[in-house]
Each structure stands twice: as structure tokens, then as C-alpha cells.
Amino acid sequence: MIGKPRPSHRTYVQILRRMTPEQRLRKAFDLSEFAKALFLRDLRTRFPELSDDEFDRLARKRLDNCHNRDY
């Protein structure tokens, strides 16, 4: 939907604007770690039969496929 931002989004942006650059960077790292943890948990749920080594290889391969190479 295009138009006015939802109140929750507006509040979130206001909170971000009050943060210091260091706090915003820490929040970005925290969100990145959280997203990776969710990804790994879901992957393990989908492939419970894999050994730890096989799982690590699969996770690295999947993460490599998602990596942004446009920098």
C-alpha cells in the first residue's frame, strides 16, 4: 500500500532518529545476527538428518548464494 506510513513504522523511524550513530550501527548488527539465527534454525528444522559438518556446508552454501556482490 502506497501512502502514509503506518503509525508503528513512523514511531520506529522516530526512535531510530533519536539514536546515536553507534546505537544505530549496533541495532543493525543485532538485527543481522537475529536474521541469521532464524535462518539457521529454520534450515536445521528442514534438514534434521544432516550431520553437523554437512549442515555447516549447506548453510555456508545457502548464505553464499544470498550474499550481495554488488559492492
Residue range 20-65, pLDDT digits in tens: 999 999 999 999 999 999 999 999 999 999 999 999 999 999 988 8
The reply to whether 12 falls in a domain is: no
Range of the domain at 51: 17-66
CA 54, CA 47: separation in Å to the nearest integer?
A: 10
Grid coordinates standing for 29? 548488527
The reply to whether 6 falls in a domain is: no
CA 63, CA 40: separation in Å to the nearest integer?
A: 10
The reply to whether 43 falls in a domain is: yes
pLDDT exceeds cutoff 60 at 71: no
Question: What pLDDT sits at residue 11?
Answer: 93
Q: Specify the number of domains making up the chain.
A: 1
Question: What pLDDT sits at residue 2?
Answer: 67
CA 47, CA 24: separation in Å to the nearest integer?
A: 35
Residue 3 three-state SS: coil
Give the pTM. Answer: 0.69
Question: What pLDDT sits at residue 65?
Answer: 84
